[in-house]
Structure 1
């Protein structure tokens, strides 16, 4: 069975946090000293009250000497109020967007894209477990080719192609996996290519698999794939 990478595999576990009463200037100092761009805010009950990012903090500079036209003031009131904040509870974004540590890398990427953010607070049973950023999600693509091949063989060739795993050969260069060899059915070749694309860290797939029997030929809606070859 497949074992996709989880958020817990790439997240930062030692998370610097602040409380709701942490002063604005102290937050700025924490971000600068630790080379980070955001900190979760822990409330009085130990839960996650929100998150303060550089974007939240820079609003103070934006509104410091800026006069906003009266026609725009109604919708900028919330931003102006945040800019006037003196402590974490007044400047944080809340609620924080969270994700369980058991979520997969694609699930985390989809959530970030949907919410237009670059980081997620990671939880385990509603307790802070870490933080994961967009750059953390790219760590899967840093896997060396030999280790990537081990994962492909284990998760696809051995576990998925249980009937004859030795009929397929795989190689990898710069994260691109090339599949070669011969399988009995064209549908099997399709499935192997699809599963290989889903393996964490795979950049692309070159499918050179041949098949003996085209079991998809009777399906009128399916067109032959240029990637697949019949056995000569």
Structure 2
């Protein structure tokens, strides 16, 4: 079974949180002190009620400077907010630690957000950002090669794994050698492209038999 990196592998576990009644200035001070851009807001029951980001805080400054009294009602409410509970975006978008990086990235894109709160049932376990998801691509080439060998080659997904030689440079996997069937080439490329950290796959593989070509019609005329 292949091992895909999950949110739990890259998330921040030492999460700074606030409560719903934390004052505006205290939230701003925490963000500055810890060099972070958002904090989960804990509810009175211990769960996560929402998330306060720098954007939420800046609503007040934007409103004060612009005097845009025609602000949308929700935006104006945030501009007038004095506590984290009034500032926060709720509910927070959450994932479980076992979520793959690809799944987390798709959820961020669909929700148009840059971070996810990681939960284990009702327990806050971490927070993951877009920059955390990029860590997989920062792995050294030798580590990526080891992942490919472990997840693909060692699983013996084709008849003769030794027939394919691999090298990795800047995250791009180059395949050389010869396989028995042409269909194996596309299969190998697809599998390797799905390994965490692989930026691309360059195939220089050849094949002994083209099993993708249409079979010749050897039947005689039909009367």
Q: TM-score, normalised by structure 1?
A: 0.89
Q: Whole-Å Cα distance in 1 between the matches of residues 58 and 26 of structure 2?
A: 14
Match of 2:186 among 173, 190, 194: 190
Aligned counterpart, 1:224? none
Quote how far apart the aligned CAs of 1:35 are. 0.3
Quote how far apart the aligned CAs of 1:64 are. 1.6
Q: Does the Cα contact within 8 Å between 2:158 and 2:184 map onto a contact in 1?
A: no
Q: Whole-Å Cα distance in 2 between the matches of residues 37 and 108 of structure 1?
A: 19
Q: Whole-Å Cα distance in 1 between the matches of residues 65 and 141 of structure 2?
A: 54
**Stretches (4+) displaced over 3 A:** none
Correspondence 1:161-176 to 2 at 5 A: 161-176=157-172
Aligned to 1:208, the other structure's residue is in SS state strand
Q: Whole-Å Cα distance in 2 between the matches of residues 134 and 90 of structure 1?
A: 26
Aligned to 2:178, the other structure's residue is in SS state strand
Quote how far apart the aligned CAs of 1:67 are. 2.9
Show CA shifts across 1:60-99 (max 9, x none). 1111243336xx45xx111001110110100000000111
1:109 aligns with 2:118: no
Unaligned residue ranges in structure 2 (runs of 5+): 216-223
After superposition, the CA RMSD in angstroms is: 1.3
Show CA shifts across 1:173-211 (max 9, x none). 111100111111111111001111110000111011111
Unaligned residue ranges in structure 1 (runs of 5+): 220-232
Quote how far apart the aligned CAs of 1:45 are. 0.5
Q: Whole-Å Cα distance in 2 between the matches of residues 65 and 143 of structure 1?
A: 44
Quote how far apart the aligned CAs of 1:154 are. 1.1
Show CA shifts across 1:103-133 (max 9, x none). 0000011111111111111111232110000
Aligned counterpart, 1:38? 38
Q: TM-score, normalised by structure 2?
A: 0.93
